[in-house]
Amino acid sequence: MYGKLIITAFIVLSVAWHVHGAVNCTAAGRFADPADSTCKNYTLCVLVTANTSFIGYNYVCPTTSLFNPTTAKCTTTYSCNGTTTNSTTSNSTSSSVCSADGFVADPSSTNCSSYIQCVLINGTYLETTLTCPTGSFYNPNTTLCEVNYVCAFTCTAAGRFANTADTTCQTYYLCVLTSTSTFTRYEYTCPTTSVFSPTTSVCTTTYTCPTASG
Ligand SMILES: *[C@@H]1O[C@H](CO)[C@@H](O)[C@H](O)[C@H]1NC(C)=O
Ligand SMILES: *[C@@H]1O[C@H](CO)[C@@H](O)[C@H](O)[C@H]1NC(C)=O
Ligand SMILES: *[C@@H]1O[C@H](CO)[C@@H](O)[C@H](O)[C@H]1NC(C)=O
Ligand SMILES: *[C@@H]1O[C@H](CO)[C@@H](O)[C@H](O)[C@H]1NC(C)=O
Ligand SMILES: *[C@@H]1O[C@H](CO)[C@@H](O)[C@H](O)[C@H]1NC(C)=O
Ligand SMILES: *[C@@H]1O[C@H](CO)[C@@H](O)[C@H](O)[C@H]1NC(C)=O
Ligand SMILES: *[C@@H]1O[C@H](CO)[C@@H](O)[C@H](O)[C@H]1NC(C)=O
Ligand SMILES: *[C@@H]1O[C@H](CO)[C@@H](O)[C@H](O)[C@H]1NC(C)=O
């Protein structure tokens, strides 16, 4: 189409560790592990709104990429230890979701529970799907996983879908296919004490909303 060779390495990994963060988090964001002289490890700090503290989750940059503490991204253009390494100059490429080093929303995730890490390696983007820590959601504005982020639901198929951002399970979305092959989204609230069951896609009193309130 554009005469470009598009190769996309798509790797699904779940590389978050719940052990003590390598970084003592004092703010939300991604921070280099100061003990890692190889510059590959970083910590995602997530704000726990309930007690205004932070929890750190450790990650490792994929393959040959290193964590640049200035941009807070994995990249092959960063020089660790101040020494210049063999940074291959790459032509610009395009892929389905990545257009730069960094993080983008996972288009296949309707509940914002996962996102994609983009790293330009040898002229093509390595796309790594990462999962947000339990209870947090990917905010494309900040590119971070946030506990209080309300995921904007987008219709990708016709039908009724749970509003996963609603911890009471009382609201759901109805996606209707229009004559122009797009979807129109409606939001509904289940009547009285019923809640929306994601398995049967109806409002029911027999479904137990999983969200523990405390
Ligand atoms: C984090 O804090 C603990 C306790 O204060 C300390 O022992 C540890 O060395 C700190 N770690 C880093 C990476 O600063
Ligand atoms: C980097 O993280 C990996 C995976 O948690 C760990 O095995 C390794 O020891 C870490 N490296 C350093 C230098 O802390
Ligand atoms: C940085 O220095 C450490 C120790 O001197 C070494 O083990 C490591 O390989 C270096 N990292 C890079 C990317 O050169
Ligand atoms: C805040 O809450 C989280 C999750 O319940 C918990 O893991 C963490 O230890 C708490 N932090 C403090 C300082 O109480
Ligand atoms: C990068 O661009 C140069 C000059 O246009 C071209 O010769 C080379 O084949 C390209 N490399 C890749 C990996 O596309
Ligand atoms: C989000 O969706 C994925 C798959 O569609 C599912 O595995 C995951 O449990 C969901 N997460 C939440 C918090 O609803
Ligand atoms: C990048 O290309 C070089 C030379 O072709 C190769 O040696 C290296 O393994 C490649 N790196 C990755 C991560 O694919
Ligand atoms: C993201 O940022 C844009 C521009 O600042 C703003 O208009 C939009 O409401 C934000 N979206 C969310 C979900 O925060």
Quick one: which of 44, 37, 36, 38 has its CA closest to 18? 44
* Nearest ligand, CA 55: 4
Shortest CA distance to 66 belongs to which of 32, 40, 89? Answer: 40
- Check residue 43 and give its pLDDT: 96
Q: Which of 197, 117, 119, 193 is nearest to 164 (CA)?
A: 197
| pLDDT given for residue 70 in this prediction | 95
Kindly state the average pLDDT of the residues 181-192.
91
1-40 pLDDT per residue, tens: 333 333 333 333 334 444 467 899 999 999 999 999 999 9
pLDDT in tens, 131-182: 999 989 999 999 999 998 888 787 878 899 998 778 899 999 999 999 988 8
**Model confidence over 67-84: pLDDT tens digits?**
999 999 999 999 997 554
| Structure tokens given for 35 | 């003990």
Ligand 3, residues 37, 60, 86: which to mutate, most atoms within 8 A of Cβ? 37
Neighbours of 96 (CB within 10 A): 11
Grade residue 108 by pLDDT with cuts at 50, 70 and 90: confident
**How much distance in Å is there from the Cα of 54 to the middle of ligand 5?**
45
Give the model's pLDDT for residue 20. Answer: 62
Cβ 47 vs Cβ 28: under 8 Å: yes
Q: Is the CB of 26 under 6 A from ligand 1?
A: no
CA distance 130 to 29: 15
Compute the half-sphere exposure of residue 201: CA atoms within 13 Å on the CB side of its CA.
Answer: 7
Give the span between the Cα atoms of 145 and 47, in whole angstroms. 9
Q: What local confidence, expressed as pLDDT, does residue 214 receive?
A: 38
Residue 203: pLDDT over 50: yes
Contact 127, 97 (CB under 8 A): yes
- How close is the Cα of 209 to the center of ligand 4, in Å? 23
**CB-based contacts of 180-187 (< 8 A; 24+ apart in sequence):** 183/155, 183/156, 183/157, 183/158, 184/155, 185/153, 185/154, 185/155, 187/163
Shortest-distance atom of ligand 5 to CA 91: 1
What's the 198 CA to ligand 4 centre distance in angstroms? 29
User: Could you tell me the distance, in angstroms and rounded to a whole number, from the CA of residue 27 to the centre of ligand 4?
Assistant: 15
**What is the distance between the alpha carbons of residues 159 and 44, in angstroms, rounded to a whole number?**
35
Q: Return the pLDDT at 146.
A: 95
